[in-house]
Chains A and B, each alone.
Chain A
Amino acid sequence: MSDLLNDKEAATKAVVDFIKAKSKTKSKFYFKDFAKVFPDDKLRAIKKVINQMVKDEVLEYWSSGSTTMYGLAGQGKQHASEGEE
């Protein structure tokens, strides 16, 4: 596991920065997009960290039913258009 992935705060910041940098064009990301943030790590190791971020409510899942994507908690069109929160 790389130092970046091992450091919870730094990893979270890297993921949030990555999402924010692209927030003008998209609000939802495939899991594999995060491989670019942690180029030295195996995807199954990245998975544990990303899912912990969901548990910590930094990220949230978006699912079509067949595919799942990740986004910053509370961000994106879905919330505004559906007025759920």
Chain B
Amino acid sequence: MGEGSRRRARFADGCYLGGGAALLASAFMRWIARGAGSGLRGHALVDTLVALGKHVPALSVARLTILWYLVPALGAVSWIVYGLLGARSRGARIVALAALLVSVLAAGAFRQLAGTARLGWGPKVALLGGFALCAGAWVPDAWLRARRPAARSSEPASV
């Protein structure tokens, strides 16, 4: 494998790891920039927003809470999968797809609960993380492979 190919592989790995880190980090960021819930996370955040009369169709308080916690959880799982199987493994791709789906759903749900203007960095970083995971997991082979050097002798050594 050539140096260029190795660099591209490392970049793709970095995307995957960075995406996982972004999903994890989103749990410690503000999901609501201002107003009620801005200092809250997790179920307290969901409880507060729902208590103020907002709701998301087909998503109960419990489901919204699970959805919120799935975001950083999938970020952690992506690292585990990377370590065990690699960023371009089937498992890694499944996790990346799930993370993207969950981050899109969560961002959409909170947009419904709080409005776009009040969304904090949390959902935005989560979305970014989901896309980065997918980019790292589905980087095309052709982009990864370096140009092959001149053909070597392929005859097996004989004794």
The answer to whether A and B interact is: no
Report B's interface with A, CB cutoff 8 A: none
Report A's interface with B, CB cutoff 8 A: none
